[in-house]
Amino acid sequence: MRELASAYSQRVPGLDAHSLILGLDGIELKYMPMGERDGAYDPEHHVILINSKVRPERQRFTLAHEISHALLLDDDDLLSDIHDAFEGERLEEVIESLCNVGAASLLMPQSLMNEMTQRFGYTGRTLAELARRADVSHSTALYALAEQTPQPTLYTVCAVSRQEQEEAAGALKALSVRVFGASPGVKYSIRPGTVIPDDHPIARALDTGFEMSEQSYVPFRSGRRMPAYVVAYPARGFAVTASFTFHDLKEENG
């Protein structure tokens, strides 16, 4: 799927919505209200539909996702292999996952991923810079970066709720985990809604507006503090992207 997406990205003049659709001959792009759905690809009528009511960055990812559906349907060998290996609901889940992989590969080319990781490593700052440069959500960048991270690492996007942002200045704010992801092989997770302690590097990055890089811990909801090297980077608005690298995870698991 990555190969299909990479080859497609070489055929289009750019990665904006207008340019992305140009690689599909005869396919029309339409924006319209779609309720709960973000988008759809209708091969019979040669059209990709995008929900006009969602955020622009979500629209762009959805377009890349639906383009990936079109690429997958045109690749008989890959499609046949998938249908041979899966069926029913599991088949649909695998197809959706593959199209998410394709979308991420379209919007975040390997050349960009390499540039960001060479400059900033596999860190919370890389996550923020990747989202900014590719013009994708932090969640999209997180999953793409986590998938390619070679060392045991947990990533999070933490934020203050919109309601708390709108409260009067000086009101107490609750910085909490919104999204998490992990590199291959890491079984630990930090659940969305987990509150970040005020003395944690993530909280200090939000308060000061500066990147924090130091030996610290993962603030699990249970209260357990697992040692990890933390890089916390203040991102858009009231958000912080962070990485937790477990240098001794192999020893602990072994």
Q: For residue 252, indicate whether it is catalytic.
A: no
The residue annotated as part of the active site, out of 28, 36, 66, 252, is: 66
Kindly write down the DSSP assignment for every residue of the chain, as one continuous string. -HHHHHHHHHHSS-SSHHHHGGGSTT-EEEEE--TT--EEEETTTTEEEEETTS-HHHHHHHHHHHHHHHHHHH-HHHHHHHHHH--HHHHHHHHHHHHHHHHHHHHS-HHHHHHHHHHH-SSHHHHHHHHHHHT--HHHHHHHHHHH--S-EEEEEEEE-HHHHHSPTT----EEEEEEEE-TT------TTPBPPTTSHHHHHHHHSS-EEEEEEEE-TTS-EEEEEEEEEE-STTEEEEEEE-TTHHHHH-
Residues with catalytic annotation?
66
